[in-house]
Each structure stands twice: as structure tokens, then as C-alpha cells.
């Protein structure tokens, strides 16, 4: 049984993520969880409390489904820029390059944002098959999270993700080789700047190229070894709020690689826009106060869209009495 610690003061957590240390090491301590392990629900909660992040094994998504979409993505990104530009700009979906969001963030990246199988850039059936499989995994993981936290309604989060109006998105990223630019700058370049994911849960799949880094509780950045056979699961801001800070969204980023291009495919599972985001009463201990003001997913998404990647987006929604500011 998982022992649920009371959430730490959010200003302490905020201070830690604003002072991430530059030292980088390859981190071999990322929890690896077999989805079919009878202890999976317990291990998932432990991983999400400690890291907000874990590697998922034995997920059941056919490798041919993954390989097909990955090949489609690579074929698209290998097209001439003039052809790719016809699928953009992202408004909010479509093709983009360098610029990330509307507020000045840039990276050594090109990407395609999709939220429907009706897109002209990538095979409709490849997207549909992949999204169907990865959504099923997300639902199962969300239900194991609820079970691991002792929530009576195991579908409390999966129901939001299953809703026809759920605000999901598929992001295909391509980080080209950056050898010349790295040589000029003398350091690795940022592919995608540090941030947390706003949604409930994210499932990331990538090729066997390194670049993903996460920030640990002590503020140290560590490099996550790639694993082409597995998914990486990330706690989002909405889940942090709904657990009243027990599970924390992980700060992460992607650095470029000087030897191989990196392809990643991320499913972001969000609730319907009208969904109210607040801590679940069943998780609150007697006398425990909510650390956040209530808001809808529409409100939070709009606020996040106006921010920079590195901003602490949840700070605007914390109750003033809990921040210590």
C-alpha cells in the first residue's frame, strides 16, 4: 500500500524548479514499470510522487503500429520545406518549425500538431491506429493511478480522457542533427525548452536517440536513456492539481544530438474544455485545504498558451495563503 504524504508547500517546490542545476548526468534510476505487474498501481504512485515520470514496459501497443507512424513522420519531415509549410502554420494544429508557441520560445525543432485523423500531412489510418492504441494505454494507466491512490472511482480520470469532447493532442517532433551549430556555439543546443505539460497525462514514444532530460527534486538535470521499446509517462499540471500536489508535474526539456536525428511522438491527454479542475475531495485528509483555486481546463489552457515555456504556470492558480510569497 502506498503511503500518501501530505503535499509539500508549493513555494518550496517552485523554488526547486526555478533553480535547476546545470550539472547533467545520465540517470539510470528512472522507474521502469511493467504494466502487467500486479504491483503496477503501487509502483506507479511511488514513481509519480518521486519523479512525476516513469518508463512503461509491456504496454501492449503493437510495434508495427508504432513503426508505421514513426516512418510516416520521418517521411514528412524529410520533405522539402516548401511542401511542409503547406501543412502549417500551427493554428493551433499543423506544421511548425523553430518557434514554439506564440510568445517567443524557439528551439532546434520542427513539429506537427494533430488532434484528428483528418489531416493531410500524415496517413489518416496510421494516425488513427496509433492514437487508438495509445489512448487505451493512457486510460489504463490513469485507472491504475486512481487505484494506487485509493480512490473509489477508478475511472475518475480515465472518464475525462475517454469523453468525446476530451481535449487530446498528438505531437510529432523532429530534432535534426545539429553538429555544425553545436560546434559554433561550443555547447549543446536546446531542442525544446524546459517546461511542464499542462494536461492530465502524457505518453511519449521516441526513437533510440538521446536528448530527453528531466529535473529531479533536488534541482539537478539528468539525461534519460532512450528506450525505443517503451513509453515514458509524464504527470501533467492538471493531475498535480487534482491530487492537491501529491503527484507533481515533472519539469523536462530536450537537448539536440550531434550524431542522430531524434523523432518523438507524444500523446497529451486532456479533459474536456468545460471540466472543472480542483483537488478530489476523496484525496483530502481531514482539515486539509486545497492548494489551488478552482478553474476550468479552458481557463488553464488559455493561461498556459499566453505564457512562456519556462514559466511556472500553476502559480497563477495557487491560493495566496499557500504560496508564502
Among all residues, which ones are annotated catalytic?
Answer: 262
Cβ proximity of 85 and 95 under 8 Å: yes
Identify the CA nearest to 230 among candidates 32, 29, 28, 25: 32
Cβ proximity of 89 and 110 under 8 Å: no
Q: Where are the alpha helices (DSSP H) in the chain?
A: 10-17, 40-50, 63-77, 81-84, 124-148, 158-162, 179-185, 237-242, 297-305, 320-323
Question: How is residue 220 annotated by DSSP?
Answer: E
Question: How is residue 258 annotated by DSSP?
Answer: S
Angle at 266 between CA 91 and CA 21, to 5 degrees: 100
Q: If phi over 0 gives left and psi between -120 and 50 gives alpha, with beta otherwise, what is residue 263?
A: beta
Angle at 265 between CA 306 and CA 24, to 5 degrees: 75
Q: What is the DSSP string of 52-95?
A: SEEEEES----HHHHHHHHHHHHHHHTS-HHHHGGG-S-SSSEE
What backbone torsions phi and psi does residue 102 show, to the nearest 5 degrees?
-95, 5
The C-alpha cell of 104 is what?
A: 517567443
Amino acid at each position: 500500500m502506498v503511503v500518501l504524504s501530505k503535499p509539500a508547500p508549493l513555494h518550496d517546490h517552485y523554488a526547486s524548479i526555478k533553480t535547476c542545476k546545470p550539472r547533467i548526468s545520465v540517470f539510470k534510476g528512472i522507474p521502469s514499470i511493467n504494466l502487467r505487474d500486479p504491483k503496477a498501481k503501487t509502483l506507479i504512485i511511488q514513481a509519480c510522487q518521486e519523479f512525476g515520470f516513469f518508463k512503461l514496459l509491456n504496454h501492449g501497443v503493437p510495434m508495427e503500429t508504432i513503426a508505421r507512424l514513426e516512418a510516416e513522420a520521418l517521411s514528412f519531415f524529410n520533405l522539402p520545406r516548401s511542401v511542409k509549410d503547406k501543412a502549417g502554420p500551427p493554428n493551433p494544429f499543423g506544421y511548425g518549425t523553430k518557434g514554439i508557441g506564440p510568445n517567443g520560445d524557439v528551439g532546434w525543432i520542427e513539429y506537427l500538431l494533430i488532434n484528428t485523423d483528418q489531416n493531410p500531412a500524415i496517413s489518416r489510418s496510421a494516425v488513427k491506429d496509433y492514437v487508438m492504441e495509445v489512448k487505451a494505454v493512457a486510460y489504463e494507466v490513469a485507472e491504475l493511478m486512481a487505484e494506487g491512490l485509493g480512490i473509489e472511482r477508478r475511472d475518475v480520470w480515465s472518464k475525462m480522457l475517454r469523453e468525446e469532447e476530451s481535449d487530446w493532442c498528438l505531437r510529432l517532433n523532429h530534432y535534426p542533427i545539429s553538429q555544425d551549430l553545436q560546434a559554433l556555439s561550443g555547447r549543446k543546443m536546446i531542442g525544446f525548452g524546459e517546461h511542464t505539460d499542462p494536461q492530465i497525462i502524457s505518453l511519449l514514444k521516441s526513437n533510440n536517440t538521446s536528448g530527453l532530460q528531466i529535473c529531479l527534486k533536488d534541482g539537478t538535470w539528468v539525461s534519460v536513456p532512450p528506450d525505443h521499446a517503451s513509453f515514458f509517462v509524464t504527470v501533467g499540471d492538471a493531475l498535480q492539481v487534482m491530487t492537491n500536489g501529491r503527484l507533481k508535474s515533472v519539469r523536462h526539456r530536450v537537448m539536440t544530438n550531434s550524431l542522430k536525428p531524434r523523432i518523438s511522438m507524444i500523446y497529451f491527454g486532456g479533459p474536456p474544455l468545460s471540466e472543472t479542475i480542483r483537488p478530489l475531495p476523496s484525496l483530502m485528509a481531514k482539515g486539509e485545504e486545497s492548494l489551488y483555486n478552482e478553474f476550468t481546463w479552458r481557463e488553464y489552457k488559455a493561461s498556459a498558451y499566453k505564457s512562456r515555456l519556462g514559466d511556472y504556470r500553476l502559480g497563477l492558480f495557487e491560493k495566496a495563503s499557500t504560496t508564502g510569497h
